[in-house]
Structure 1
Amino acid sequence: MYAVILAGGSGTRFWPKSREQLPKQLLKITGQGTMIQNTLDRMTPVIPPDNTWVITNENHALETCRQLKPMGFCPSRLIAEPVGRNTAAAIGYSARILSESDPDATMAVFPADHAITTLEAFCELLQRAKTVAKKGHLVTLGIKPLAPETGYGYIKQGQALEDGAFKVDRFVEKPDQQTAETYLKESGYYWNSGMFVWKVSTLLDEIKIHLPELHAQLDALATNTFEAKGQYPYRMLNESGRNIFSSLKSISIDYGLMEKSNNTAVLPANIGWNDVGAWTALADVSVKDSRGNVIAGNVIAVDNSESIIQGGNRLVATLGLKNMIVVDTPDALLVCPKDQAQDVKKIVEQIKLEKRPEAVTSMTEIRPWGSYTILQKDANYQVKRIEVLPGELLSLQSHHHRSEHWTIISGTAQAQVDEVSHNLTRNQSIEIPQGAKHRLVNSGESPLIIIEVQLGDKLDENDITRYEDKYGRA
């Protein structure tokens, strides 16, 4: 059995920690690992990492590979989408690529950002789902409802099948409160988890019937897929493939296929599932204090109850809060009532309307070579902490409007300034004059960390002229 992890979401309800450039699935929200690491880890007893595929936006491909490769994931099994086109396109494209190596494969599909706490039951469920799928069914995992939730779609079970599964009678859109309460009282209704198991051949046959326009493009997408060069040879589309994928209709697999097929089955699941769809989900998947608070980070909380308080490096002090959410990051602070957690996305929409950067980026930005964090910024100076991964290097570049000063904090650097190369270690520094061609290389085996001070009248990322670049940006 193979797994496909869907990792294309933006996680707007988890702003301000989740941003477009580093979304929820790449963050530590519910445990020691990031959400996508936790997703890969929980499947390992049934589906080994080298049988797992990931499909994500091309902007997140490198960071996803970095997070998963140490766990045994093979970077060539990451598929990079040029744009988001919903789950039907992502699943269809992944299935077509998987079919090249194993046309008779059984394929399980999981969102990257859910939480599951009953792991033994989850693994046993996957084995049963595989058995049902091998008999030609499109299997969806239905969660036994615990409350009259109006935020989920529902599945109504029909005729009993083998291995505890049922034919799907119908899929139901997100209900109102009264209808959800009725579903909870009646037996045979399940939350739609967005997790599926099927044979690749069955899925592709069903896509051909119900999504013929998508099916007609899958061969062309596969033909125009190639492996990127470098340390992480993930799969991406060439220009023709990008144009094809961008032209696909944006439609969910539920609406485009599952609701139309007569070949669907639901397997009831009691696995401690949570879709972690908003900050309030932390109350269900995290340890709470004696007053029902979920507190993390540098926080002093006095007389608070039933609140979620997430601090960072600076002190967050709260007093007398009840049913509130407080999330602090270096460049943005969220304060809202818990019953409006689903509306955090409205804040993100407003930030975008005002063309502010906080919806897209944070003070830390991921780059192909590592990352940088803005420590201080003013009109004519900026201070950054730069981390370069072992063996990586920045582009050969120059700046027309600023000079730079580098101080090595840890690691070993090779700094090129014009035609001269300098080897630098901890507590050594070097000046980069305005207009000089320069490059920074991590020549050691541990991360290289430097403090960069920029001085000039233009300090944004647009003041970069690249002459050579390992990552194709010159």
Structure 2
Amino acid sequence: MDWLSLGEMKIADSESKVVLTEESFPAVAVRIVPVVLAGGAGSRLWPMSRERYPKQLIDVLGPDSLLQATVQRMKGFYADGGTVSTPIIVCGDEHRFVTSEQLRARGIDARIVVEPARRDTAPALTLAAAAACSEGDDPIIVAMPADHAIENLTAFQLAIGLAAQHARRGAIVTLGVPPTRPDTGFGYIKLGSELDDGAHRIERFVEKPAAELAVQYLASEQYWWNSGIFAVRASVWLATLKIMQPAMHDACLLAHAQGASDGMYFHPGADAFKSSPSDSIDYAVMERLGLDERFAEGVVVPLDAGWSDLGSWDAVWEALEKDADGNAARGRVVFEGATSSFAHSQSRLIACVGVTNIVVVETDDAVLVADRSRVQEVKTVVSRMRALQAPEADAHRKVRRPWGYYDSIDRGERFQVKRIVVNPGGRLSLQLHHHRAEHWIVVSGTALVTRGGEEFMLSENQSTFIPLGVTHRLENPGKLPLELIEVQSGSYLGEDDIVRFDDTYGRA
């Protein structure tokens, strides 16, 4: 059956309606495909989260990154005889290597769909729905943002099981969180009529309210927080999108049809995907479901599992264990006479004395100090830093690459010093620079160096010089990490001064 064309579905499809009933779907076990949307930036969690290494890739709460924790959330899930398939991760090209590296570190098999450009969550989910149909059936996709926290996995999976039952019969289902406070940082869902199992029909979605309105929502008990977690049959999502957002539907399916696989990565057609409108799942589809009975039914299932979207440092403080004075900390932190505060240290000791309701976050190259009640303004600060072209706005001092990483130790007007670590078997691209020369000094391990027309080995305490304009490559042929110090000198030291001729990782 061609689920992408919906050719054999009992679906009434016109310019104005999509009618889906239980009879539209075969009564067989249905695959569940977890879909993790990992394309966000998370600038409110600066300085740990940055454009080139966003919050889903960092370990905000524990030893696992938020991405790793999200992908493992469906482990052991079972419902109605259906099987849970290999998860699909949708991420940007710049993050695909570190995403796959983090998955391998936890022994997780996954399919990674690489977005050619950022187009928000609706196009991302559409790419995933098309990929989920590639095995010829019509699975239920469970879409989860990669940057949320869940305390109670059992309660989470029970909610997903209930959502899957409604999705199986053709509904588009979201998980709603019964609010515990009048929070202005979340969108809300107004509950419609209650169903037999505790779920509700969706009456409407509500944008982030003002404080006074949020108090009214909490008191009414008719509004739940919008978790951003969805369950829907792939065919239902595609059919609904075809009616509501035809340009997005056509662009994304064309991009999928023109795509190609590269190992564990699937690359959609770039030009077609870039032609898609950019919109979120809520704006593109969900907010319209309750407005017209002819559309697919919208259902909200309660999620009472200690959910948090970790959208700010205050949310991180809420999610962490606290001491008797309400303080939460990670890393080397000492509190003295402090209350209701949060501190996160990556390396240096942080001492908080006599302070209340503050946030302190320390990294190798930046320190954030903020009032907990104003942490939403961190995003504005990051925008100001970008306007000033401060590199700390988007990149860490330590930058990960598919072959390893480099750490910018020092820099001046015409020089920069980097510590470079190349993984065993790692291989940098064959490249040259127009504006800088480089000195390489091996600290440990063995380096295979290509310089112009020659190739040679370097071991510990040996060095070489790469003149400006000369093609070169660095490789680690050994079984241990290769560590070296690189000293760059020249008129321009930006990372865009690289001309690649050959690259193992497809970046040439």
Q: Classify the TM-score, shorter chain.
A: over 0.9
Matches within 5 A, 1:321-340: 321-340=355-374
Distance 2:233 2:45 in 1: 34
Distance 1:466 1:81 in 2: 22
Distance 1:447 1:6 in 2: 32
What does the per-residue CA deviation read over 1:251-288, in whole Å, with 9 as the maximum and x for residues that have no partner?
22112211212410011111110110100112221122
Query: Which of 259, 275, 280 pairs up with 1:247?
Result: 275
Stretches of structure 1 that go unaligned for 5 or more consecutive residues are none
Supply the AA of the counterpart residue of 2:322.
K
Distance 1:456 1:346 in 2: 34
Question: In the alignment, is the contact (CA less than 8 A) between 1:49 and 1:74 conserved in 2?
Answer: no
Verify: 1:434 aligned to 2:448, yes or no.
no
1:53 corresponding residue in structure 2: 88
| Alpha carbons of structure 1 residues 462 and 88: separation in structure 2 relative to 1, 3 Å | closer
| Alpha carbons of structure 1 residues 370 and 82: separation in structure 2 relative to 1, 3 Å | same
Which 10-residue stretch deviates more, 246-255 or 189-198?
246-255
Query: Which of 206, 210, 217 pairs up with 2:251?
Result: 217
Shift of 1:145: 0.7
Shift of 1:410: 3.6
Matches within 5 A, 1:56-71: 56-71=91-106
Shift of 1:64: 0.7
Shift of 1:325: 1.2
Question: In the alignment, is the contact (CA less than 8 A) between 2:33 and 2:84 conserved in 1?
Answer: no
Question: In the alignment, is the contact (CA less than 8 A) between 1:50 and 1:74 conserved in 2?
Answer: no
Query: Which of 125, 148, 173 pairs up with 2:159?
Result: 125
Question: In the alignment, is the contact (CA less than 8 A) between 1:410 and 1:449 conserved in 2?
Answer: yes
What does the per-residue CA deviation read over 1:174-214, in whole Å, with 9 as the maximum and x for residues that have no partner?
22222222222223321110001111111112112222222
Question: In the alignment, is the contact (CA less than 8 A) between 2:59 and 2:66 conserved in 1?
Answer: yes
Q: SS in structure 2 opposite 1:51?
A: coil
1:105 corresponding residue in structure 2: 139
Distance 1:254 1:26 in 2: 24
Q: SS in structure 2 opposite 1:265?
A: strand
Distance 2:489 2:212 in 1: 62
Supply the AA of the counterpart residue of 2:406.
Y
2:23 corresponding residue in structure 1: none
Query: Which of 448, 451, 458 pairs up with 1:417?
Result: 451
Query: Which of 190, 194, 204 pairs up with 2:224?
Result: 190
Question: In the alignment, is the contact (CA less than 8 A) between 2:184 and 2:211 conserved in 1?
Answer: yes
Shift of 1:78: 0.8
Query: Which of 271, 288, 298 pairs up with 1:260?
Result: 288
Distance 1:284 1:302 in 2: 20
Question: In the alignment, is the contact (CA less than 8 A) between 1:405 and 1:429 conserved in 2?
Answer: no
Q: SS in structure 1 opposite 2:355?
A: coil
TM-score, L = length of structure 2: 0.86
Question: In the alignment, is the contact (CA less than 8 A) between 1:132 and 1:162 conserved in 2?
Answer: no
Question: In the alignment, is the contact (CA less than 8 A) between 1:132 and 1:163 conserved in 2?
Answer: no
- The number of residues matched between the two structures is 466
| Alpha carbons of structure 1 residues 334 and 388: separation in structure 2 relative to 1, 3 Å | same
2:502 corresponding residue in structure 1: 468
| Alpha carbons of structure 1 residues 58 and 465: separation in structure 2 relative to 1, 3 Å | closer
Matches within 5 A, 1:284-363: 284-363=318-397
Query: Which of 143, 150, 172 pairs up with 1:138?
Result: 172
TM-score, L = length of structure 1: 0.92
Stretches of structure 2 that go unaligned for 5 or more consecutive residues are 1-31
Question: In the alignment, is the contact (CA less than 8 A) between 2:405 and 2:422 conserved in 1?
Answer: yes
Supply the AA of the counterpart residue of 1:32.
P
Question: In the alignment, is the contact (CA less than 8 A) between 1:35 and 1:114 conserved in 2?
Answer: yes
Verify: 1:86 aligned to 2:117, yes or no.
no
Distance 2:63 2:336 in 1: 26
What does the per-residue CA deviation read over 1:90-136, in whole Å, with 9 as the maximum and x for residues that have no partner?
11121122112243101100000000001111112212211121111
2:312 corresponding residue in structure 1: 278
| Alpha carbons of structure 1 residues 255 and 472: separation in structure 2 relative to 1, 3 Å | closer
Question: In the alignment, is the contact (CA less than 8 A) between 2:425 and 2:478 conserved in 1?
Answer: yes
Shift of 1:471: 3.2
Shift of 1:434: 1.8
Distance 1:465 1:268 in 2: 53
| Alpha carbons of structure 1 residues 319 and 129: separation in structure 2 relative to 1, 3 Å | same
Shift of 1:463: 4.1
| Alpha carbons of structure 1 residues 220 and 400: separation in structure 2 relative to 1, 3 Å | closer
Verify: 1:377 aligned to 2:377, yes or no.
no
| Alpha carbons of structure 1 residues 104 and 453: separation in structure 2 relative to 1, 3 Å | same
Supply the AA of the counterpart residue of 1:250.
S
Verify: 1:36 aligned to 2:70, yes or no.
no
Question: In the alignment, is the contact (CA less than 8 A) between 1:375 and 1:385 conserved in 2?
Answer: yes
What does the per-residue CA deviation read over 1:67-108, in whole Å, with 9 as the maximum and x for residues that have no partner?
113334345x11111221111111112112211224310110
Distance 2:51 2:115 in 1: 15
Matches within 5 A, 1:163-202: 163-202=197-236
| Alpha carbons of structure 1 residues 451 and 216: separation in structure 2 relative to 1, 3 Å | same
